[in-house]
Amino acid sequence: MTERVSVEAGVPVMVVRLVSVTGGEGGHGGHTVYHVEALERPTALLPREAGPEVAALLGPAERRADWATPDGLRAAVEWAERALAAAGRPLGGPVEQVRTWNLSGLFRLPTAAGPTWLKVINPAFNSREGEAIALFGAVDPALVPPVLAADAGRGLLLLDEVPGEDCWGPSAEEVAGVVPRLVAVQATLAADGRAAAAGLRDRTPRAVAAAVGGLLDRLAAESAASVDADAAADADPGKDAAAGTTPAAGSGLTAEELAAARALVERLPALVEELAACGLPETVVHGDFHPGNWRSDGTPPVVVDYADTCLGHPAMDGLRPRAFVDAERWTQLAGEWARAWRAHVPGCAPERALELAEPLFHLGYALRYQEFLDHIEDSERPYHEGDPASEIRRALEVAG
């Protein structure tokens, strides 16, 4: 898209943010409108004054990330250029915007010594990614991408190139090359106390169990507000349009599902104790350990994207790849994970831990997705609006 707009404008452009989505389903498809910023004054387009509607779209909004503004976007790129110069690898060509979405952005910066990558995230609800990478890398430097610079307060990270491709549809060799290494790092960080001392967001089983009840209260309240808003709209169809507001979307859960979820919450303390009895330690959890976050060029994979890193149960990472691989690869992956943990913690019960952790796995993601919704602006909510409810529904399914 940016290539086409750049051609039409006659100058380089970058996407600043998503403005709106009309239609589509589940955060996919539909008609989308983006705010695109020209990096220089356009030469191939005639300027025209923005009307009130466009001016409103370009104006400030609550919970907008710093890098999702023209000034913030420029500042992030300029920071990366200065960091490269300080590292003796000055920028060697145009910055390429590879991807920008509602949670982060990724930019490719060429240098004479090879490409580098600028990642921007929202520090309000993500880990301090450079510190998380350093924590894993202190045990296994080859497991993590090389960090050239980081500004945790602004959510900026400059990385060196990781050769290869993302491991979607991973081979047996790629699974064997990454899963035991992750386990080894997690076992080491748990044993020497660094995991507990890292100051990470707490997503341990007890913390998840304690937080889910509050999430259900919020979802129930949103459902009630949505019903009231729908009733008001039926009574006065022009009211919402005139006010320029959108009714609350509701939780996406039925009254029966909410009741079942509350019953599950009552069972969680016993489930947490049973999971603890499996003998696996709480440790640093990557948080999004699916094959798309593994990169390989034929050598053992490097794991990328540490924005979701937290303190938790290792089964959270053990279970994450399951939705991304076929049955044969999942069988291999679960076996590799279990054997690795049994080697580090003799007498533990990793297979049982994977089984017991499934409801907590999904409830943990429900909490995580609600964090997204709490910190992104309204125009971006369609991508995650129904995610907390979907994860709660999955927790109910696997809990039986």
pLDDT tens for 11-55 read: 888 888 888 777 766 556 778 888 888 888 887 777 777 788 777
Q: Over the range 131-152, which residues count as b (16 or more CB within 10 Å of their CB) and which as e?
A: bbbbbbbebeeebbbebbbbbb
Domain match, 274 and 347 both: yes
Q: Where are the alpha helices (DSSP H) in 149-253?
A: 172-191, 194-197, 205-235, 239-243
Domain match, 116 and 179 both: no
Domain match, 23 and 5 both: yes
**164 — alpha (psi -120 to 50), left (phi > 0) or beta?**
left
pTM of the model: 0.89
pLDDT tens for 104-114 read: 999 999 999 99
Q: Is it the case that residue 248 has pLDDT exceeding 50?
A: no
Q: Is it the case that residue 241 has pLDDT exceeding 70?
A: no
CA 125 to chain centre: 10
Residue 278 resides in a domain: yes
C-alpha distances (whole Å) from 29 to each of 2, 20, 52, 183, 369 are 18, 12, 27, 38, 20
Kindly state the average pLDDT of the residues 118-141.
96
Domain match, 23 and 101 both: no
Domain match, 126 and 34 both: no
Q: What is the CATH number of the domain that holds 258?
A: 3.90.1200
Q: Is it the case that residue 199 has pLDDT exceeding 90?
A: yes
Domain match, 48 and 70 both: no
Residue 34 is predicted with a pLDDT of: 84
Residue 48 is predicted with a pLDDT of: 77
Residue range(s) defining the domain that contains residue 48: 1-59
Q: Is it the case that residue 378 has pLDDT exceeding 90?
A: no
Average pLDDT, the chain: 90
* Domain boundary, last residue among 29, 59, 89: 59
Domain match, 54 and 71 both: no
Which of 31-40, 244-253, 385-394 has the highest average model confidence (pLDDT)?
385-394
Residue 102 is predicted with a pLDDT of: 75
* Domain boundary, last residue among 43, 59, 75: 59
Residue 235 is predicted with a pLDDT of: 62
Residue 96 is predicted with a pLDDT of: 93
| HSE-CB for 391 with a 13 A CA cutoff | 22
Residue 329 is predicted with a pLDDT of: 98
Residue 105 resides in a domain: yes
CA 148 to chain centre: 22
* Domain boundary, last residue among 14, 42, 59: 59
Task: Output 37 or 191, whichever has higher pLDDT.
Answer: 191
Residue 247 resides in a domain: no
Domain match, 193 and 131 both: no
Domain match, 50 and 117 both: no
Q: What is the CATH number of the domain that holds 119?
A: 3.30.200.20
Residue 240 is predicted with a pLDDT of: 45
Residue 214 resides in a domain: no
Domain match, 319 and 370 both: yes
Residue 49 is predicted with a pLDDT of: 78
> Which of 182, 190, 199 lies closest to 127 in space, CA to CA?
199
Total domains, the chain: 3
pLDDT tens for 145-156 read: 999 999 999 999
Give me the helix-helix angle, 205-235 and 255-276, nearest 10°: 170
pLDDT tens for 306-354 read: 999 999 999 999 999 999 999 999 999 999 999 999 999 999 999 999 9
Quote the percentage of the chain above a pLDDT of 70. 92
Residue 236 resides in a domain: no
Residue 265 is predicted with a pLDDT of: 98
- Torsion angles phi and psi, residue 165, rounded to 5: -130, 160
Domain match, 325 and 302 both: yes
Residue 57 is predicted with a pLDDT of: 74
Cα separation, 145 vs 39, in Å, equals: 29
Cα separation, 319 vs 225, in Å, equals: 35
Residue 220 resides in a domain: no
Residue 222 resides in a domain: no
C-alpha distances (whole Å) from 231 to each of 147, 225, 247, 342 are 53, 10, 10, 57
Domain match, 313 and 353 both: yes
Give me the helix-helix angle, 350-375 and 327-344, nearest 10°: 110
Residue 216 resides in a domain: no
